């Protein structure tokens, strides 16, 4: 029997990421080839002409009405040389007002993915100003960083990226994020092997590998003068697909979610954790040992998020 259609909202639909994302969703990359979708595409009036190229609306209420999944890409993008904090004030007020629109008009149990930067803090603002949307339904994108970390390891070891798994992005989608390979493995003909053992170069893993992943977004903006649109769109599809359809057995992914205090990360931040997903719900992977090097990095990125939270509130007051 044909499935009921799912309504998917994409904000910023006329932008770089939106232009790549919309056809991926229509093609079934996000929810599967057998899942009909009804796309709601929102942008702002100055983008109306570009928006005609993808068919959509500049009316936030129309865009949010009845949506089951909201991918929030709309906002003011970081330009070359700009720190993420520079874009904060422009974006938190957008997320405050769109929170209200989603709360009033989206379907009950709508799942929200915030892509626009500062992604974690925009998601937190959205959560705070949409109190009736359950906090477990609000997330931000760190899957792009996760995929970048998998890519770095696969290149270094000359293996397929699909054979590498269980890297972790901890914290903020920013240059303080901590890409952690301490629990990552590679599928080899001789069975699963630890990434640390196979790479056998802790100086690289604790140095250049981390900074390359942390700085990849900035490096792409510098090169393209535009954001990493295709890989961001693809990562957004990965994020929603795994959230809705589940993560494979034995595999976790990174998602920015509301901290419950796991791993001594302060509660009340949207922080990227390792998660598994089943039946449309994510669960933080518990009990992973955290060494001293990692602890410092988990704390540093949490501190930045606490500062961003304070700054966001000061922008709104």
Ligand X SMILES: O=C([O-])CC(=O)C(=O)O
Q: Least separation, in Å, of the C-beta of 211 and ligand X?
A: 14
Among the listed residues 40, 105, 146, 173, the single catalytic one is 173
Q: Least separation, in Å, of the C-beta of 210 and ligand NAI?
A: 17
Q: Which stretch binds ligand X (CB under 6 A): 162-170, 213-221, 242-250, 260-268?
A: 213-221
Nearer to ligand NAI, 44 or 290 (CB): 44
Q: Is 146 a catalytic residue?
A: no
Q: Residue 101, interface with ligand NAI (CB under 6 A)? A: no
CA distance 22 to 187: 33
Phi/psi of residue 10, each to 5°?
-125, 115
Which of 24, 28, 44, 198 is close enough to bind ligand NAI by CB under 6 A?
44
Which of 43, 128, 180, 308 is close enough to bind ligand NAI by CB under 6 A?
43
Q: Least separation, in Å, of the C-beta of 152 and ligand X?
A: 14
User: Which residues from 222-261 bind ligand X, rule CB under 6 A?
Assistant: 227-228
User: How far is it between the farthest Cα atoms of the chain?
Assistant: 58
CA distance 43 to 178: 33
**Half-sphere exposure of residue 23, counting CA atoms within 13 Å on the CB side?**
7
Nearer to ligand X, 178 or 185 (CB): 178
Nearer to ligand X, 157 or 220 (CB): 220
Q: Least separation, in Å, of the C-beta of 256 and ligand NAI?
A: 8
Contact 70, 112 (CB under 8 A): yes
Nearer to ligand NAI, 117 or 121 (CB): 117
Give the one entry of ligand X, ligand NAI, none that residue 73 binds, where binding means its C-beta sits below a cut-off of 5 to 8 angstroms depending on kind: ligand NAI
Q: Which stretch binds ligand X (CB under 6 A): 5-13, 21-29, 187-195, 215-223?
A: 215-223
Give the one entry of ligand X, ligand NAI, none that residue 220 binds, where binding means its C-beta sits below a cut-off of 5 to 8 angstroms depending on kind: ligand X
Which of 50, 107, 220, 288 is close enough to bind ligand X by CB under 6 A?
220
Which residues are designated catalytic? 173
Contacts with ligand NAI, residue ranges (CB under 6 A): 11-12, 14-18, 42-44, 47, 73-75, 77-78, 94, 115-117, 119, 141, 144, 173, 217, 227-229, 232
Contacts with ligand X, residue ranges (CB under 6 A): 77-78, 117, 144, 217, 220-221, 227-228
């Amino acid at each position: 029997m044909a499935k009921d259609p799912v309504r998917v909202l994409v904000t910023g639909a006329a932008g770089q990421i939106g232009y790549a994302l919309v056809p991926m969703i229509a093609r079934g990359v996000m929810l599967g080839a057998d899942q009909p979708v009804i796309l709601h595409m929102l942008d702002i009036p100055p983008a109306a002409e570009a928006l005609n190229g993808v068919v959509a609306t500049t009316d936030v209420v129309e865009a949010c009405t009845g949506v089951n999944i909201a991918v929030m890409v709309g906002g003011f993008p970081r330009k070359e040389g700009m720190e993420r904090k520079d874009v904060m004030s422009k974006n938190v007020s957008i997320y405050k007002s769109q929170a209200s629109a989603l709360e009033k008009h989206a379907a009950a149990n709508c799942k929200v993915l915030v892509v626009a930067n500062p992604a974690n803090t925009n998601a937190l603002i959205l959560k705070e100003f949409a109190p009736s949307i359950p906090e477990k339904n609000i997330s931000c994108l760190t899957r792009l960083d996760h995929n970048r970390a998998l890519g770095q390891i696969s290149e270094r070891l000359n293996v397929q990226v699909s054979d590498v798994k269980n890297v972790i992005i901890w914290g903020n989608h920013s240059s303080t994020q901590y890409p952690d390979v301490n629990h990552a493995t590679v599928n080899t003909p001789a069975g699963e092997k630890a990434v640390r053992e196979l790479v056998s170069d802790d100086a690289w893993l604790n140095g250049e590998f981390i900074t390359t992943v942390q700085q990849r977004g900035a490096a792409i903006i510098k090169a393209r003068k535009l954001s990493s649109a295709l890989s961001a769109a693809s990562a957004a599809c990965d994020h929603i697909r795994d959230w809705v359809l589940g993560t494979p057995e034995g595999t976790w992914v990174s998602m920015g979610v509301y901290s419950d205090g796991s791993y001594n990360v302060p509660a009340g931040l949207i922080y990227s954790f390792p998660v598994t997903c089943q039946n449309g719900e994510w669960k933080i992977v518990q009990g992973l040992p955290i060494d001293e090097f990692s602890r410092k990095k988990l704390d540093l990125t949490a501190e930045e998020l606490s500062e961003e939270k304070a700054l966001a509130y000061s922008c709104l007051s």
